[in-house]
Structure formats: structure tokens, C-alpha cells
Structure 1
Amino acid sequence: MNFTPVSLPIALCLVMFSVVVAAAGLTVAVRSWAMRRNALVHPSERCSHTIPTPHGGGIAIASISIILGVLFSVLDWVPDSSMLAFISLGFMMLALGVWDDFGDVSAKLRLCAHFAVVIVGMWSIPRLPVFSLFGMEVDSAVAFLLWPLLVLSWVWLINLYNFMDGIDGLAAVQGLVLFAGMALNFWYLGYGQWAWICLFILAAVLGFTILNWPPAKIFMGDGGSGFLGFIIGFMMLLSAAQSSVSMWSWIILLTLFIADATTTLIVRFVTHQDIFAAHRLHAYQKLTVRFAGRHLPVTLGYGAVMLFVLVPVSWLANRVPHSGPVLFAILFAVASLGMLRLGCGRLDKTDN
């Protein structure tokens, strides 16, 4: 079927609306199934919830996104080989997450699976990115020492997204603003197809967010958070291979999640805590328990900082060549210092 230049955006908007409806409907179905099976997350040392709530809602995000991968390939927006890898690896991440949500997966097996998925994912990218580092360009395709760093960074992204899925709506809002911000960056530099890819994934996340909004009727679970960490890393590398949009734009938009997860981990390691034990010591959890008393203000606060600070700075990283590393370093330092002042990673009388 042929579309005119005017009718194509209308058709794509209709598809986006359909994606939102499909994701919301599938989330409702998963919630209904989880309630019947009594598959509930109970209050624990890891989460900041007080009411048992069904989980696994991220299945909707992952399933719809995998189907969208087929659409992207059919529309010839991305290489078929890359989308084949995305679909197969995405299904593996979904299956692993669902197994972890409703079964029992050892941490070692899960981590090994993450490394395997990431290594195959990197191999499927047509060309690894050229990084701008303080005015110099470093081609990671020929700088072999960067390959382990890319693998570790992608695995860390998958896991930190899981760590940050601890209060209602937070991980979903991160995904919404991230993909919206990147859509703006792609449109600014003239990559309309990649802007639509981001908007379609945003639509899948939005459908789930309707039921995850505080107070959440269903949680994302590992099937969603791990998948989102995977898909963000995949899109980051693949878009760098197909466009001139700075990878630092993606990284800048992830600043709050990166700073919170990384700073908390470092503090717990330095203070001789068991870094593999469940906890509620992230900055967003400290804010929820000590100051806000509810999830909604913290979720909205993180979203507002992303929307009004990180989105403009991510645009600046494309507007001013080679500025990305400096901008991210400043943002990361400021965010980390603020989170340290909140006491992230530190045990006190109110923490278990």
C-alpha cells in the first residue's frame, strides 16, 4: 500500500495509538492472570511498597516492542540482520525476566545470560560507534580495548534499570521521557525514521504506564526492566551506526538512573555492605521514605528533572560538537553529590 507524504504521518500516528491500546490491554490481561495465580510482590527489603501487588506488567512492553521490531524491519528502517538479533535477543531477555519474576533464577545465571545477550547484540550492530571524547574521536570498531568497556556498560545498564524499578511509575517515566527526548534529537538532526522508532517504543511504555501510575495496579517486574535496559543499549548502538546523533544524548538522558545506581553501589561497597543483598538505599527510595512519604512526588520529580534539564542538555550535546562528555560529567557530578547528601547507600535507623 502506497502512502502520500501527508497520509504517512497520519497512518503512523494511528499505529502509535494502536500500540498504546494494545500495550494497555495486554497489561490488563497480565494483571488479571497474576491476580488469579496470586503472583504478588509482597513488601520486602528491596521494594518501597506496603501493599501486595501483582507484577509482570513489563511483559506488555517487551512483547509489543518485539512485534514492533518486525514492523521496523518491514518498513526498512533498520537492517534486517540487526532486527533479527533484536527480536531473538529481546525474546531471550523477556523469557529470562519472566522466569526470574515467577520462578527462581540464580544471580550468576542471570548475569551470565546478560553477558551472552550483550555480546551477541554487539556483534549484530553493523558498525560500533565513534565516540567523541574531549575533542577527540575514538572509533570503538577498531579500538579493541573499548569492546570490554562497551559490554560491561551495557550489562550495567540492564541491571541498573532493574535496580531503579522500585517505586510506582519511576522506571516507566524514565522510559517515556528518554524516548521522547531522543525522538526530538533525531528530528532535530533530520532522522525522521529513528524519531518514529523512539515514539513507537514510547507508545508501548505508555500503555503499561497507565496501570503502573501511582498508586500502581501492577509492577513492571524483571521482564520489563531488564528488557528496557537491553533495548535502550541496543537502540543506542544501532542508532549511532545509522546516524550522526551523539550517543552522549542517550547517556545524558539516563543521568539520574546512572548516578543513583552507581553512587549507591559505590557507597555500599566502600562501607563494607553486602552489595548483592536486597536493600532500599537508593536516593529515590530515601526521598520516598524520608521526605515525600509517597511515590508520586518522587516519580514526578525525577520526570521533571529529565524533562526540563536533561532533555535540553541532550539537545545541546548535538548542537555543540564534542560537548557530550563534559556535559554528562557535570550532570553526573551534580546528581551524585545531591544523592550523597540524601544518604544514598548508607544504613541508618530507619533502614532494615
Structure 2
Amino acid sequence: MWGWVLAVPLLSAAGTWFARRYALRRRLIDEPGARRSHAVATPRGGGAGPVLALAVLIAGLGLAGRWPGDWRWSLGGLLAVAGIGAWDDHRPLGAGVRLVTHLLAGAALAAGVQLWGEPVQGVGVMLAVAVAVNVWNFMDGIDGIAATQALIVALAAAALGQGDASLRALAVALAFAAFIPFNFPRARIFLGDVGSGALGYALVLIALLTPARGSAPVALLLLFPAAAFLVDAAATLAMRMIQGERWWTPHTRHLYQAAARRYGHAPVTLAYGAWSSTGGVLAWALRDAGESLIMASLALWYTAAAGLWACVQRVFGMKRGGMTERDR
């Protein structure tokens, strides 16, 4: 098993390097603009590296009989999310096509972990995949933030799990970690839709496949380190809907984007990482707690995150269109 753990980051780094060469050759470049947070033209699609590593990991362990459930469905879901993202990186697709694909990938994952015997659980997995894929896509807007957040959540899963499940989660974390030097502190390539969505899918995958070291479910505990992304995404979406904006269109109104314009990408990515790491410590501390205590702690943690989001947004004085007065 350790051989796979060590091979994954090598495959991820090599795949990212080749993806960058391919993006430059095909001119898959994100240009700076009013709805983007970067100032330098940068190639996209580097997430193909981690996707390659994860696909090889799933197939290799599956063929060796060391992947729980039906690995072919789990792999198919990953490739569906990455494939529709790669298509969108080359030629933009409608939101409806992407969402249907994400739901089908969630259905495949539910089949892979054999949850369709309980239809409610199967539908829950479909929705969880659609949410995670889109949250990681929405929040992939400054250098390093999406990959570091995924890394922290995956490391928390590795710490909370046991045996082979812990090593699988560690391998997933290392796939993300190998991408980070290409993307932080200064991005030489972006994840692209091929990678950002696949990160969200992979996190749901390991949350479902990691038996707990303690008494609390890993999937529930991982909501602690995931809070920074989930709150920023949900609160920003709600704000835009309340203000009557075209909430499905590109924008720069997320808290991390406003903060990055004022303080730079690296400090904001590190600040989000510190918050999520604190959430990971809380998850570890509550691994043997009862469900009522965990739910109460989650309510407090998310309330604190939402309150912090609202306070900082007020400090930045966000206006419609996603720019502060200072930025204008």
C-alpha cells in the first residue's frame, strides 16, 4: 500500500508538468479581466495531473482487490467530472450540462459504495457530489486556495481514519500536495475545471470510504475543516440572490477574492488554511464525541464562520459587481 502512496504524488507532479506544456501549446490561457482575480495570463488545466494520479490509484487498488466497493463506478464518476471539466476548459459548456454530469457522477459514486439499497442515501451522495464539485469550482479563484483546502480536508480524513482507509486518504492528499508548487505562492498553471471539480468529487469519495478511528462518522467530522469553503460559497450565493444579481454568472464577490485584492493571494490562502486547519483539530478532538455534541459544535463553528464572513465583508464595503470603492 505504501508503494501506491509514494507513487501518487510523483504521477500528480509529472501529469501537471505535462498539462502545463499542453496548455501552453494549445493556448488554453486565462487572461486577466474584471471578473478574474489574477493579473498575469496563466495557463489552465493543471488539475489533469492530480486526476491522473487519482485515476491510477483507484484502478490499481481496485485491480488488486484493495479498493472497497465497486471501484469501476467510483473511477467512472471521477472521470465524468474531470472529463466534462476538461471539455469546458477547451470549449465552455452550459451550466445545465455540467450539473447533470455532476449528478450522474454522484449516482455512480453511490453505486460504487453500494448505497442505492437505501435510496435516500444514494440521493444524498448525488447531491453531496454536486455541491462539493461546484463549491470547489466556485472557490478556485486565487493562487493555491482550492488545492490547499482540499489537502487539509484529505489530511483530516487520513488522521481520522484507520488502516488502509487512512492510507488511501493520505494518497489523495498527496495528489493535491504535488500540484501546489505549480500553483502557489505564484501560479504557473491553474487547476482549470478539469481539476477543481475533481477535487470536490475526490473529497466526497474519501469521506464515504474512510471508516472512523473513533466513534463519530468521518463524513460528519470533515464538515469542520470544510467550513471555510462551504460558508464563503453559500453566503456569497445567498447575498447575490437577495440583491437580485444574475447569481449564475462569473463574479469576484467571494470573501477570499475581496481579501486577495487588498492583501494579495498568498496571505489569504494561508489565512483560509489556518481556519480550516483549526477545523481539522476540532474534528480530531471530537472524534469520540456523541452525535448531539458534534452537531452542536458544528452549529457553533458554522455560526462563527458566517459571522466572521459578514463582518469582514462589511469592513471591505463590498458593492454590487464585486468591487470595493478602493478597487474602483
C-alpha deviation, 1:89, in angstroms:
1.6
Is the aligned partner of 1:89 residue 2:69? no
* Structure 1: stretches of 5+ with no match in the other structure: 1-7, 129-140
Is the aligned partner of 1:19 residue 2:8? yes
C-alpha deviation, 1:127, in angstroms:
4.0
Identity of aligned residues (%): 26
User: In the alignment, which residue of structure 2 is the partner of 1:138?
Assistant: none
In structure 1, how many angstroms separate the alpha carbons of the residues matched to 2:199 and 2:213?
A: 21
Is the aligned partner of 1:312 residue 2:277? no
Among residues 206, 223, 228, which one is paired with 1:256 in the alignment?
228
Q: 1:229-240 maps to which residues of 2 (within 5 A)?
A: 229-239=200-210
Among residues 177, 185, 188, which one is paired with 1:206 in the alignment?
177
Among residues 32, 36, 39, which one is paired with 1:43 in the alignment?
32
C-alpha deviation, 1:70, in angstroms:
1.7
User: In the alignment, which residue of structure 2 is the partner of 1:134?
Assistant: none
User: In the alignment, which residue of structure 2 is the partner of 1:54?
Assistant: 43
User: In the alignment, which residue of structure 2 is the partner of 1:137?
Assistant: none
Partner-residue secondary structure (3-state), 1:336: helix
Cα distance per residue 1:50-97 (max 9 Å; x no partner): 10000100001111101100232244333351x111111211111111
Regions of 4+ moved over 6 Å: none
Aligned length in residues: 320
In structure 1, how many angstroms separate the alpha carbons of the residues matched to 2:310 and 2:34?
A: 20
Cα distance per residue 1:9-67 (max 9 Å; x no partner): xxx1x543332222112111111111122211011344210100001000011111011
In structure 2, how many angstroms separate the alpha carbons of the residues matched to 1:18 and 1:148?
A: 34
- Structure 2: which amino acid aligns with 1:60? G
Contact preservation (8 Å) 2:222, 2:283: yes
- Structure 2: which amino acid aligns with 1:222? D
User: In the alignment, which residue of structure 1 is the partner of 2:126?
Assistant: 151
User: In the alignment, which residue of structure 2 is the partner of 1:124?
Assistant: 112
Contact preservation (8 Å) 1:27, 1:60: yes
In structure 2, how many angstroms separate the alpha carbons of the residues matched to 1:78 and 1:109?
A: 30
C-alpha deviation, 1:209, in angstroms:
1.0
C-alpha deviation, 1:235, in angstroms:
2.2
User: In the alignment, which residue of structure 2 is the partner of 1:131?
Assistant: none
C-alpha deviation, 1:154, in angstroms:
2.7
Distance change (3 Å), C-alpha of 1:286 and 1:329: same
Contact preservation (8 Å) 2:214, 2:288: no
Is the aligned partner of 1:288 residue 2:264? no
Distance change (3 Å), C-alpha of 1:127 and 1:113: closer
C-alpha deviation, 1:98, in angstroms:
0.4
Contact preservation (8 Å) 2:12, 2:51: no
Contact preservation (8 Å) 2:47, 2:194: yes
- Structure 1: which amino acid aligns with 2:113? I
User: In the alignment, which residue of structure 2 is the partner of 1:66?
Assistant: 55
Among residues 184, 187, 190, which one is paired with 2:159 in the alignment?
184
Partner-residue secondary structure (3-state), 1:343: helix
Point out which structure has higher relative CO (alpha carbons under 8 A, 6+ apart): 1
In structure 1, how many angstroms separate the alpha carbons of the residues matched to 2:68 and 2:28?
A: 39
In structure 1, how many angstroms separate the alpha carbons of the residues matched to 2:245 and 2:22?
A: 38
Q: 1:241-252 maps to which residues of 2 (within 5 A)?
A: 245-246=216-217, 247-252=219-224
RMSD of Structure 2 on Structure 1 (CA): 2.3
Q: TM-score, normalised by structure 1?
A: 0.84
Contact preservation (8 Å) 1:288, 1:298: yes
C-alpha deviation, 1:284, in angstroms:
0.6
C-alpha deviation, 1:252, in angstroms:
1.4
Compare 47-56 and 239-248 and name the one that shifted more: 239-248
C-alpha deviation, 1:104, in angstroms:
2.0
Distance change (3 Å), C-alpha of 1:149 and 1:45: farther
- Structure 2: which amino acid aligns with 1:349? E
